Amino acid sequence: MIIPSDAHLPELPQQRDTPIGCIGSGFIMADCHLVAYRQAGFNPVAIASRTPENAQRVATRHGLTAFDTYQEMLEQADIEVVDVAVPPDLQLDVIREIVKHAGKIKGVLAQKPLGVDYQQALEIVTLCRQAGIVLSVNQNMRYDQSVRACRALIDTGQLGNPVFASIDMRAIPHWMPWQQRQGWVTLRIMSIHHLDTFRYWLGDPQRVFCSTRPDPRTSFDHSDGLCMYILEYADGLRASSWDDVWAGPAKEGAASDLGISWRLEGTTGLARGTIGWPEYPTPTPSTLDYTTIATGDRWFSPRWDQVWFPDAFTGTMAQLLVALETGATPEISAEDNLKTMALVEACYLSAAQHRAVELEEILQS
């Protein structure tokens, strides 16, 4: 058995004309969300941000109507879904305004991380649930093509029971100015992708052990620069990631050796892959290779043209639109994402206290 040729692609809604209002006009909105939405035939119609001039530039580029404030957009624009791409410490206030328009607003796609910590994420989820608004979270690595294709291998049983999984990131992210006021960098911005991917593939771990150190290149105070963590599952499965945002003195004049690779070993098969994101803006597709006992001494290497940035952002909005269309739970429901936020919180606690932390310690707090 081989995976279907479209296993790396998201399910799309039947109706794609649902009017979308966008809050935030930074890179992730202008160069990822809106590019992907136009390619998929979705219907973004309005935008607002803290800087009206930026919102107007993005509106002109993508054919939207710009509003001076997001409050005006929520009040005046004919929209049913809101795409929120603002810094995490601003999300709660934005959601408080959105829920005032429950009835008109049916769904919200919120950027990850959902708020600044687990408790704030829980408050955001509660606000939307009480308002009857379907809330989903933009955990876009779930829609990286190799990640999604690997999930298809797991779902079809070709890898057997998972035994070990790993992600090895050697990359130099561009930290945003707002992160300085948070005092954190990697765990809530980069590692959250990997932790969520492990959950997407393998389910919830029982506990996590995490160790961190500051990144020498990042000048502002922070604790979570380079991050290493091990997830322990009740059935013996283990998963681990090395999130190395230093990756050597490449920016200081040495040669670079950047990339992200992953591996998933099962009782009847092995999958391995790469993530093309570190080469952005050069469009570099992620890759997947796999072998199974059933197919013998042979590797299968499906390839595709789509790339994580921006194509994966089609999937994150699509799964919300499908949920609104069918009445089903979104693939990335906010309720489920609370466990990803809790796992991130557990990593911080583990690193600070130098001990393994049970996921339930956070969920019950």
* Domain co-membership, 191 together with 251: yes
Name the domain count of the chain: 2
- Domain housing 212: 143-309+340-363
* Domain co-membership, 131 together with 247: no
Residue (of 166, 148, 162) closest to 268 by Cα position: 162
Read off the pLDDT of residues 148-205 as tens digits, 9 standing for 90 and up: 999 999 999 999 999 999 999 999 999 988 999 999 999 999 999 999 999 999 999 9
Q: What average pLDDT does the chain have?
A: 97
Read off the pLDDT of residues 25-67 as tens digits, 9 standing for 90 and up: 999 999 999 999 999 999 999 999 999 999 999 999 999 999 9
CA distance 224 to 148: 28
- Give residue 364's pLDDT band: very low, low, confident or very high (50, 70, 90): confident
- pLDDT of 111 higher than 90: yes
pLDDT, mean of residues 104-121: 97
* Domain co-membership, 149 together with 136: no
- pLDDT of 308 higher than 70: yes
Predicted local confidence at residue 2, as pLDDT: 82
* Domain co-membership, 92 together with 106: yes
* Domain co-membership, 290 together with 231: yes
CA distance 341 to 188: 8
- Give residue 237's pLDDT band: very low, low, confident or very high (50, 70, 90): very high
* Domain co-membership, 39 together with 134: yes
Share of the chain above pLDDT 70, in %: 100
CA distance 196 to 343: 9
Residue written as token pair 């997407």:
200
Residue 131 resides in a domain: yes
CA distance 184 to 164: 29
CA distance 126 to 139: 19
* Domain co-membership, 164 together with 295: yes
Predicted local confidence at residue 1, as pLDDT: 67
- Give residue 365's pLDDT band: very low, low, confident or very high (50, 70, 90): confident
* Domain co-membership, 300 together with 191: yes
* Domain co-membership, 149 together with 234: yes
Residue 214 resides in a domain: yes
* Domain co-membership, 303 together with 207: yes
For residues 258 and 171, is the Cβ–Cβ distance under 8 A?
yes
Residue 98 resides in a domain: yes
Residue (of 150, 155, 169) closest to 302 by Cα position: 150
- pLDDT of 130 higher than 90: yes
* Domain co-membership, 125 together with 236: no
CA distance 231 to 347: 10
Predicted local confidence at residue 155, as pLDDT: 97
Between 334-353 and 118-131, two packed helices, what is the crossing angle to 10 degrees? 170
Q: What is the CATH number of the domain that holds 122?
A: 3.40.50.720
Q: What pTM did the predictor assign?
A: 0.97
Half-sphere exposure of 331 (CA within 13 A, CB side): 23
Predicted local confidence at residue 169, as pLDDT: 98
Residue 286 resides in a domain: yes
For residues 320 and 328, is the Cβ–Cβ distance under 8 A?
no
Residue written as token pair 């160790």:
211
Q: What is the CATH number of the domain that holds 230?
A: 3.30.360.10
